[in-house]
Amino acid sequence: MTTNGFHNHNSSPSFDDFLENDFSFSTTAIHFNQEPEQWLSNAVVPPICLASTYKQEAIADKRGFEYGKLGLYGRLGNPTRQCLEKVLAALEQAKYGFAFASGMAAVLSVVHILKAGDHVIVMDDIYSGTIVYFKKVASKFGLSIEFIDGTNLDNIQHAIKENTKMIWLETPSNPTLKLIDIKGVSKIAKNLPDCITVVDNTFLSPYFQRPLTLGADIVIHSCTKYLNGHSDVIMGAACTNNEKLAETLRFLQGSIGAIPSPFDCYLVLRSLKTLEVRMKKHMENGLKIAKFLETHPYVEKVLHPGLPSHPQHELAKKQCYGHSGMVSFYIKGHNLKTSKKFFKHLNIFALAFSLGGFESLAEFPSVMTHGSLSEEVRERLGITDGLIRLSCGLEDPSDLISDLDQALREAFKL
């Protein structure tokens, strides 16, 4: 038979000799040597599985609904993603882990546990994207949201209402590195009916802080930051030990569908292998830089929970195993012009959003990450025109210190 007058491949005599199976051309391309059951191998790196669906054993095969099993459909489960989710959970000392398309996708999926009419207490000094999400998106769906300073547990206790169902923490906070007592807050929540504590652990990673062991119900991450650490993936995660919450999160992950790509899951899985060595070096570099800045004539104050000068240094030692490469400091004078000159003269630190990568970044919260807050809120939070936030990377610390020193001196040159 011919199609549109062309000679048919399948009927050509030479083609039969060439094919090693009884299928015709397109069926060969689709099925030959690609049986779904054959992918067992001893590869030392988990394979990237891109399949969007899976062959079922029978109709009404329920495999995909059971944690630890796969099946059904790629949005609901993927082998590469599940491999990553199990490692993320294990590092957070959690039973269940879920990966999302971004940190914000993790935030929104977790907030979807709530329903209209619920009251949420949110710390006032958190990632600005999360603030914007709560204020401009979540509030539209009937949640009542209250921002408070959670460094004092009494403030949280006073904010509790009959319908308080979630307390949202980020500790250390962003950008002023204030600490919230996770154990204390979790205790308050546990005394309320169905109220859960969620902790955004992005700034420390599970290497330096494990909120679930302190009583929190859910820990979330922007994996974009330290967990991936190579500035080439946007991803989020949520982990829990609570089976009922895990069931809800699994349902929301599949139902909302804000899932990461298998390729990105592979990248983060790879990055986690060096998380410990990276975090140790981030801490070493950050502390060296913080100590240097503390003695600098043009620096007014340094914010780093590992320094005895930090007002919550004792809590940091109790609650965390260490601190990351995040350091904030105030340039003397709190002057926009001086800060601008400082950034202009940085050579190694790049002026950029984000944090937690191998490369050192500097950021100006009052204009960049927290520019959307009102002047009054910024002032209350201590976000002045002299506040600089550093994400200290993995370069040689003496080069980083020289870079900061010369940029500070240039900033004060007349």
Ligand X SMILES: *Cc1c(COP(=O)(O)O)cnc(C)c1O
Smallest gap from Cβ 201 to ligand X, in A, equals: 8
Query: Within a 10 A sphere around the Cβ of 144, how many other Cβ atoms?
Result: 15
> Is 200 an annotated catalytic residue?
yes
State how far the Cα of 228 lies from the Cα of 235, in Å rounded to an integer: 8
Region 134-173 residues binding ligand X, contact defined as CB under 6 A: 170
> Is 127 an annotated catalytic residue?
yes
Strand, helix or coil at 28?
Answer: helix
Q: Among 65-73, 146-154, 217-225, 290-298, which window interacts with ligand X (CB under 6 A)?
A: 217-225
Q: How many residues bind ligand X (CB under 6 A)?
A: 16
Smallest gap from Cβ 232 to ligand X, in A, equals: 12
State how far the Cα of 281 lies from the Cα of 284, in Å rounded to an integer: 5
Q: Which of 137, 234, 256, 401 binds ligand X (CB under 6 A)?
A: 234
Q: Which of 164, 174, 186, 339 binds ligand X (CB under 6 A)?
A: 174
- Tokens matching residue 158: 């006073």
Q: Which of 210, 225, 310, 370 binds ligand X (CB under 6 A)?
A: 225
Smallest gap from Cβ 268 to ligand X, in A, equals: 11
Query: Looking at beta carbons only, is 103 or 357 nearer to ligand X?
Result: 103
Query: Looking at beta carbons only, is 103 or 206 nearer to ligand X?
Result: 103
**Distance from the Cα of residue 381 to its chain's centroid:** 23
Query: Looking at beta carbons only, is 129 or 382 nearer to ligand X?
Result: 129
Burial (Cβ within 10 Å: 0-12, 13-18, ≥19) of residue 232: exposed
Amino acid at 370: H
* Residues 223, 225, 230: CA angle, nearest 5 degrees: 100
Query: Looking at beta carbons only, is 102 or 366 nearer to ligand X?
Result: 102
- CB distance 340 to 407 below 8 Å: no
Q: Among 13-21, 47-55, 196-204, 377-385, which window interacts with ligand X (CB under 6 A)?
A: 196-204
CA dihedral 225, 229, 230, 234 (to 10 degrees): -30
- Maximum distance among all Cα pairs of the chain, rounded to whole angstroms: 88
Alpha helices in 223-373 (DSSP H): 243-256, 262-272, 275-294, 313-319, 336-345
Smallest gap from Cβ 222 to ligand X, in A, equals: 3
State how far the Cα of 193 lies from the Cα of 68, in Å rounded to an integer: 30
Q: Among 97-105, 115-123, 338-346, 389-397, which window interacts with ligand X (CB under 6 A)?
A: 97-105
For ligand X, what does the binding mask look like between residues 103 and 132, x meaning CB under 6 A?
xx----------------------x-xx--
217 binds ligand X (CB under 6 A): no
Catalytic residue selected from 81, 178, 210, 225: 225
What residues pair up with 123 in beta bridges, in sequence order?
148
Catalytic residue selected from 67, 75, 133, 409: 75
Query: Looking at beta carbons only, is 101 or 400 nearer to ligand X?
Result: 101
Q: Which of 92, 118, 125, 200 binds ligand X (CB under 6 A)?
A: 200
Smallest gap from Cβ 84 to ligand X, in A, equals: 15
State how far the Cα of 35 lies from the Cα of 37, in Å rounded to an integer: 5
> Is 118 an annotated catalytic residue?
no
Residue from 224, 304, 298 nearest 267 by CA: 224
> Is 75 an annotated catalytic residue?
yes
Query: Looking at beta carbons only, is 356 or 411 nearer to ligand X?
Result: 356
Is cis: bond before 175, omega within 30 of 0? yes
| Cα end-to-end span (Å), the chain | 87
Enumerate binding residues for ligand X (CB under 6 A).
102-104, 127, 129-130, 170, 174, 200, 202-203, 222, 224-225, 234, 236
Give the active site residues. Answer: 75, 127, 200, 225
